[in-house]
């Protein structure tokens, strides 16, 4: 029996069907040997590939115009420059490589915004593994460019028609595939969610973001930042950039770590406030995805965590203008860090995120993913962020252009460009 | 320790265990459908309490759950349903852990078990609760004399099997094939090898996942099972009845007759 702790305080665990438990045990063993103990040089190969294929390290860039606007030093961790246009490749490449080391022959994954699906499709093509992606029907329609990318990289894309057709349904459906094919298939889960060891393992593939951020802030600014701001849906980019600023990471004994200094770094997880934080218990709808801010403890997709649910425990339909944040749960480690007061959960609504999308595009020349735009919208609030702030630019917004313009057209945003150039 | 009503169901002849989701497609119709199972020869009824994210279910039962939730099923209504149900066989509640967990309090899942016992439920099957997470529910069931049935999968190794047998009471649910629930045209040969492995354990073994005909039932009992569990093939009848808007008596009669066929098959297999 593996010895790794499966929980983060009261959260985490392994709530999955018995059929999957042997695969979970096998994965736990592989995680301990290859990821934690670098057996057969696994982590060396991962670092080499994420460097050569992925383009790491990503830059830490001073945002001059935003720094002037907010009268503090705003730095951007440019995960949008990672191959594929988002942080997602760290985890996808790590897990597909791990699947190869484990002798698996097939990759499956779920995707919401399509960023994890495209990253997995790229990694699978790179490492020559067959790959199938499950994606909610609604997301297939919202994120067409990413569907094309997955198909072009050679992956199958299976639309999921059950329920509202978003990330929640895609995860459930991928788990069903895995329950059927578990003997030769690895499920590359796309965030720090699911049964142990997934939340810890996915964090460990993304923690390279925080490792680089610590080094770069010291080199470029002479010290660690006052605040780190990241958007949070499931929370993989969030834990990626937070990991080495918390004392729970098994890697936090890194040579440059300094726990006292780390405790002074404020960590803000920005959730999607959607159209409202109110819930409609009758219809089972929470028009937001703010499970850290407003959720309650429960069990979903293999883990105990904070959830959007009704009093019976039925999972609510979540909402966000950004598909990547549109999820009723959140990683169990983030739930614990919030309870421990180490991470501050905040949220911004759809309107503010869209406004920030346009502002950031115009002021910095970077079109952010709608997910990332939530982190920028938070800068507008009067939270005490200190002098030196790092924002994780979790992804670029090319995939969102259609959705962003459509949503912008529904609103009266002061800073949105018109599209009258198309008028006759 | 196990529940005497469930023990009795396995005592003399193979147990036929049909499943339906409570409230599919409506409270009233579902009462009639579940009672038809008993008339058709059910020895135990597995009664689903619908959860919005049923990760172990195939499309047939997922759709039943959607119909039931849309028809207004809640945890409170489910307990009323069991109270209103007029059947004289044991009822096993099949649901997912979050619903049990939310009904609980700081003491754990005990309040759900206590309430279940008070309305006449005899045991539980919880597909997303593996041995690793089962201690609190196991203890609550022991305290109230209810059974907790564990699922044994084709992937379960011998070490895990020992652990599941020691945790399980009432019967073991033998998953006939990898994958999710759903009616199939053949019976998996994974079943035979599972039953062979289990022959030495002194606990009734009921096989589920994919059974839909009397012939399947006969073969599985002849292969050494003590019971058969059938869900999707029965739910299909309700799905069709709902789609064609048939009067409740029609699907109810069909359910009763399929149950008779399955029960007869099981008995034949025991000859």
Final residue in a domain of this structure, among A186, A201, A216: A201
Fold of B15-269: TIM Barrel (3.20.20)
Q: Which residues of B touch A168 (CB under 8 A)?
A: 53
Question: For residue A1, what pLDDT band results from cuts at 50, 70 and 90?
Answer: very low
Q: Which residue of A has its CA nearest to B131?
A: A18
Q: Is the per-residue pLDDT at A250 higher than 70?
A: no
Any B CB within 8 A of A128 CB? no
Task: Quote the pLDDT of residue A263.
Answer: 78
For the segment B146-168, the average pLDDT, to the nearest whole number, is 95
For chain B, what is the radius of gyration of the CA atoms?
A: 17
ipTM above 0.90, yes or no: yes
Q: Comparing A11-15, A323-327, A388-392, which segment has the lowest mean pLDDT?
A: A323-327
Same domain, A235 and A310: yes
Domain boundaries, chain B: 15-269
* Nearest residue to B220 (alpha-carbon basis) of B232, B206, B233: B206
Task: Name which of B52, B76, B128 is nearest A314 (Cβ-Cβ).
Answer: B52
Same domain, A187 and A239: no
Contact B178 A6 (CB under 8 A): no
- Burial label for B199, CB within 10 Å (0-12, 13-18, 19+), is exposed
Contact B99 A172 (CB under 8 A): no
Q: Which helix (H) or strand (E) holds A344?
A: strand A343-349
Both tokens of A131, joined, read 């790959």
Q: Which residue of A has its CA nearest to B160?
A: A22
Question: For residue A257, what pLDDT band results from cuts at 50, 70 and 90?
Answer: low
Residue A141 lies in a domain: yes
Same domain, A175 and A214: no
pLDDT tens-digit series, residues B164-190: 999 999 999 999 888 877 777 776 677
Q: Which residues of B touch A22 (CB under 8 A)?
A: 153, 155-157, 160
Task: Quote the pLDDT of residue B130.
Answer: 95
Report the gap between the CA of A370 and the closest CA in chain B (Å). Answer: 27
Residue A423 lies in a domain: no
Contact B55 A315 (CB under 8 A): no
Task: Quote the pLDDT of residue B59.
Answer: 87
Residues of B with a Cβ under 8 Å from any A Cβ are 51-59, 62, 66, 69, 74-76, 96-99, 101-103, 127-133, 150-157, 160, 164, 175, 178-180
For the segment B47-62, the average pLDDT, to the nearest whole number, is 93
Residue A127 lies in a domain: yes
Same domain, A194 and A132: yes
3-state secondary structure of A59: coil
Question: For residue A253, what pLDDT band results from cuts at 50, 70 and 90?
Answer: very low
Same domain, A145 and A242: no
Question: For residue B13, what pLDDT band results from cuts at 50, 70 and 90?
Answer: very high
Q: Which of B13, B32, B46, B261 is catalytic?
A: B46
Q: Is the per-residue pLDDT at B106 higher than 90?
A: no
Q: Is the per-residue pLDDT at A420 higher than 90?
A: no
Task: Name which of B66, B127, B164 is nearest A17 (Cβ-Cβ).
Answer: B127
What proportion of chain B, given as a percentage, has pLDDT over 70? 98
CATH number at residue A226: 3.40.50.1100
Residue A157 lies in domain: 19-53+86-201
Same domain, A96 and A66: no
Task: Quote the pLDDT of residue A259.
Answer: 56
**What gap in Å lies between CA B45 and CA B49, rounded to an integer?**
12
Q: Which residues of B touch A162 (CB under 8 A)?
A: 59, 62, 66
Residue A130 lies in a domain: yes
Q: Is the per-residue pLDDT at B248 higher than 50?
A: yes
Q: Which residue of A has its CA nearest to B102?
A: A313
Same domain, A67 and A127: no
Task: Quote the pLDDT of residue A419.
Answer: 85
Task: Name which of A182, A284, A312 is nearest B102 (Cβ-Cβ).
Answer: A312
pLDDT tens-digit series, residues A100-128: 999 999 999 999 889 999 999 999 999 99
Report the gap between the CA of A223 and the closest CA in chain B (Å). Answer: 43
Question: For residue A2, what pLDDT band results from cuts at 50, 70 and 90?
Answer: very low
Q: What does the DSSP 8-state code read for residue A324?
A: G
Final residue in a domain of this structure, among A177, A201, A225: A201
The β-bridge relationship of strands A185-187 and A106-111 is: parallel
Same domain, A123 and A240: no
Question: For residue B1, what pLDDT band results from cuts at 50, 70 and 90?
Answer: low
pLDDT tens-digit series, residues A196-206: 999 999 999 99
Q: What does the DSSP 8-state code read for residue A412?
A: -
Catalytic, B46? Answer: yes
Residue bearing tokens 């709608």:
A370
pLDDT tens-digit series, residues A36-94: 999 999 999 999 999 999 999 999 999 999 999 999 999 999 999 999 999 999 999 99
Domain count, chain A: 2
Task: Quote the pLDDT of residue A279.
Answer: 84
Contact B153 A311 (CB under 8 A): no
| Peptide bond between residue A286 and the one before it cis (omega within 30 degrees of 0) | no
Any B CB within 8 A of A298 CB? yes
Q: Comparing A256-270, A272-286, B76-90, which segment has the lowest mean pLDDT?
A: A256-270
Task: Name which of B58, B130, B175 is nearest A14 (Cβ-Cβ).
Answer: B130
Could you please report the per-residue DSSP string of B47-67? EE---S--TT--HHHHHHHHH
Both tokens of A38, joined, read 């670098």
Same domain, A345 and A358: yes
Q: What are phi and psi of A92, to 5 degrees?
A: -60, -45
Q: What is the mean pLDDT of chain A?
A: 93
Q: What are phi and psi of A259, to 5 degrees?
A: -60, -40
Q: Which residue of A has its CA nearest to B129?
A: A15
**What gap in Å lies between CA A30 and CA A27, rounded to an integer?**
5
Question: For residue A345, what pLDDT band results from cuts at 50, 70 and 90?
Answer: very high
Residue/partner pairs of B30-33 with CB below 8 Å, 24 or more apart: B30/B68, B30/B71, B30/B81, B31/B81, B31/B84, B31/B85, B32/B248, B32/B249, B32/B252, B33/B238, B33/B248, B33/B251, B33/B252, B33/B255
Both tokens of A245, joined, read 């600023």
Same domain, A169 and A231: no
Residue A414 lies in a domain: no
Contact B128 A302 (CB under 8 A): yes
Q: Which helix (H) or strand (E) holds A336?
A: helix A332-339
Task: Quote the pLDDT of residue A407.
Answer: 95
Q: What are phi and psi of B111, to 5 degrees?
A: -60, -35
Same domain, A97 and A218: no
Final residue in a domain of this structure, among A172, A201, A230: A201
Contact A22 B52 (CB under 8 A): no
Are B152 and B123 contacting, i.e. CB atoms less than 8 angstroms apart? no
Both tokens of A355, joined, read 């406004």
pLDDT tens-digit series, residues B218-228: 999 999 999 99
Pick left, alpha or beta for residue A383 (phi over 0 → left; psi -120 to 50 → alpha; otherwise beta).
Answer: beta
Both tokens of A81, joined, read 């420059």
For the segment A318-334, the average pLDDT, to the nearest whole number, is 92
Give the active site residues of A.
88, 110, 394
């Amino acid at each position: 029996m593996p010895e790794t702790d499966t929980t983060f305080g009261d959260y985490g665990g392994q709530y999955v069907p018995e059929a999957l438990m042997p695969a979970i045990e096998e994965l736990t063993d592989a995680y301990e040997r290859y990821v934690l103990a670098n057996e057969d040089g696994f982590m060396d190969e991962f670092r080499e590939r994420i460097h050569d294929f992925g383009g790491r390290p990503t830059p830490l860039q001073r945002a001059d115009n935003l720094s002037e606007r907010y009268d503090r030093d705003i730095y951007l961790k440019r995960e949008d420059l990672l191959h594929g246009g988002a942080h997602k490749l760290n985890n996808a490449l790590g897990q597909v490589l791990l699947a190869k080391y484990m002798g698996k022959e097939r990759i499956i994954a779920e995707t919401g915004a399509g960023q994890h699906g495209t990253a997995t499709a790229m990694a699978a093509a790179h490492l020559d593994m067959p790959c199938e992606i499950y994606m909610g029907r609604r997301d297939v329609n919202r994120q067409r460019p990413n569907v094309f990318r997955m198909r072009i990289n050679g992956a199958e894309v299976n639309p999921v028609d059950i329920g509202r057709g978003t990330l929640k349904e895609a995860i459930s459906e991928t788990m069903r595939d895995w329950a059927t094919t578990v003997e030769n298939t690895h499920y590359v889960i796309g965030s720090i969610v699911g049964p142990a060891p997934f939340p810890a393992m996915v964090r460990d593939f993304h923690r390279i973001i925080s490792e680089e951020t610590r080094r770069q802030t010291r080199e470029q600014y002479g010290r660690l930042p006052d605040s780190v701001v990241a958007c949070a849906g499931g929370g993989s980019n969030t834990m990626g950039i937070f990991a080495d600023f918390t004392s729970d990471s098994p890697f936090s004994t890194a040579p440059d770590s300094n726990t006292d200094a780390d405790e002074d770094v404020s960590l803000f997880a920005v959730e999607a406030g959607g159209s409202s934080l109110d819930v409609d218990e009758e219809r089972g709808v929470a028009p937001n995805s703010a499970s850290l801010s407003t959720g309650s403890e429960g069990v979903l997709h293999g883990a105990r965590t904070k959830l959007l649910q009704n009093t019976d425990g039925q999972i609510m339909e979540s909402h966000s203008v950004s598909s990547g944040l549109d999820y009723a749960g959140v990683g169990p480690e983030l739930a614990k860090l919030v309870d421990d007061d180490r991470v501050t959960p905040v949220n911004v609504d759809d309107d503010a995120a869209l406004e920030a999308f346009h502002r950031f595009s115009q002021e910095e020349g970077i079109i952010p993913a709608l997910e990332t735009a939530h982190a920028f919208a938070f800068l507008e609030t009067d939270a005490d962020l200190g002098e030196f702030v790092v924002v994780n630019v979790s992804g670029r917004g090319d995939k969102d252009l259609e959705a962003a313009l459509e949503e912008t057209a529904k609103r009266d945003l002061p800073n949105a460009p018109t599209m009258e150039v198309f008028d006759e | 320790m196990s529940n005497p009503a469930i023990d009795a169901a396995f005592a003399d002849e193979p147990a036929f265990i049909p499943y339906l989701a409570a409230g599919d497609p409506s409270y009233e119709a579902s009462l009639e459908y579940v009672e038809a199972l008993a008339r058709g020869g059910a020895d135990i009824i597995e009664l689903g309490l619908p959860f919005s994210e049923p990760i172990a279910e195939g499309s047939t039962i997922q759709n039943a759950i959607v119909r039931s939730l849309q028809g207004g099923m809640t945890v409170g209504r489910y307990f009323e349903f069991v109270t209103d149900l007029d059947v004289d066989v044991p009822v096993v509640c099949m649901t997912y852990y979050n619903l049990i967990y939310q009904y609980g309090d700081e003491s754990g899942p005990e309040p759900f078990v206590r309430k279940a016992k008070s309305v006449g439920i005899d045991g539980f099957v919880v597909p997303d609760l593996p041995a690793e997470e089962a201690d609190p529910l196991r203890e609550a069931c022991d305290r109230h004399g209810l059974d907790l049935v564990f699922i044994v999968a084709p992937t379960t190794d011998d070490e895990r099997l020992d652990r599941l047998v020691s945790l399980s009471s009432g019967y073991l649910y033998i998953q006939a094939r990898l994958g999710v629930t759903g009616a199939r045209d053949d019976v998996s040969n994974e079943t035979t090898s599972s039953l062979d492995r289990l022959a030495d354990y002194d606990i009734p073994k009921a096989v589920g996942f994919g059974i839909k005909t009397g012939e399947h039932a006969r073969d599985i009992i002849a292969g050494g099972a003590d019971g058969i569990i059938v869900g999707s093939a029965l739910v299909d009848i309700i799905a069709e009845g709902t789609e064609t808007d048939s009067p409740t008596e029609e699907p109810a009669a069909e359910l009763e007759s399929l149950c008779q066929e399955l029960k007869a098959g099981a008995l034949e297999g025991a000859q």
